[in-house]
Structure 1
């Protein structure tokens, strides 16, 4: 059991994260799943294919969490955004599979458009290449029903659906945006970013009602620039903005008095302009952030 846990926890955690939108929740789900199975390890001796067995258990637990959290998300104050995956927490040599299985933050946001069952079918089929026979067994549905769920999921995600793993070119582009934003924050003038942001760009903020944040999305390039100029004048960016790798992409972490207070992520379009900016200030979603010293050490 210990060997199976070590061999499979990375991929299963990545799977659960894509289903729940919470890295901390995913880690707990995988640990709890194996803890429960360990108590009945004698019953596992007859299982010929343990990986599908573990996968089914993790998916079922993840869907239970996802379906229960739907209620709280509906009453969530403001925009609900997925929890960031802080790369500094998964760059240990013993966790190579997590790094390989990372997907962009934009991909995680897109998955929120789907129902729990659509999300499960899409993630299992598109991200992990699981066969329809296994997906049907996991969800207790027919293969035909699972194919219909996948078709609906693709329709909901629309033409934006593509491989969200960052190419070197995309990563360099996002790095340019991070550098430009960092310079603007230091000078207090965000106007030079106008050419990098689409006219119809949107900024999404998630404070969870625990810290002051924009309740509704901020629409248009001019309003986004005005927002950042405004909070800079008010001192909201006092502290340290540090480049970081989050969900496999360049991003920014803001520290105040040594504590992570903001995450800023960028999503681009096919023309190389910023389409969405994600600002996460909910302290519950920043618990897994690396310390400022650890992050600076990694740079």
Structure 2
């Protein structure tokens, strides 16, 4: 027999403000325009709007009131947590070298309690041994703790790329302060403890540049990198505004980066 939450019968749903908003679209079937009302369009506005904030609070209050009458609430919450809290391994890659250096595995590890990921380096033997044991514990040794990439711990690695010789780790960083910036560090310069919190963490190389959310391309001798950025300097990393292909030579100031191709120049030629 299904249990009916008696609390639901006592819930009074809050009134929601409506606006006089309509949309009109051309319709071949109707041989003209078709219009429809969208009275709750205002809810698509900025979440900081006082009216939207009030709506969220009212809806949350209704949900809380309903959940108070759920006899199995604690059991449901526990089952969801048990099903969701487990160790996760991601972004695994076998790093090889064009110089014949020893290959190794690079991957990120997410703990069962939802901590920020820690990147690990493992030899092939260490990785295969951990695989046989169903990864009961991370293989190899930790290399980078993402909580140390910014002062507030909000930074996260969006994309990453390893130099052709397997010596340098490049990572596209996004956080509460900035987004779309690439940084670099040597694999022999791990980030596991920190006393200060410069952008992208202590011990990184000085090289940095803003780029679109896209991969970079190393040249074979790993002395330089090609990357994409917006043609409009005020457009941030939005390449929909037109894009440039630029070249950055490692160990140089990115202000000296060369523009190899500009889509706006190409359009002007047409």
* Structure 1 and Structure 2 fold alike (TM over 0.5): no
Could you say which structure has the larger radius of gyration? 2
Q: TM-score, normalised by structure 2?
A: 0.22
RCO greater where, 1 or 2, for CA within 8 Å and sep 6 or more? Answer: 1
Structure whose residues are more often helix by fraction: 1
Please identify which structure carries the higher strand content: 2
How does the TM-score come out when normalised to structure 1? 0.20
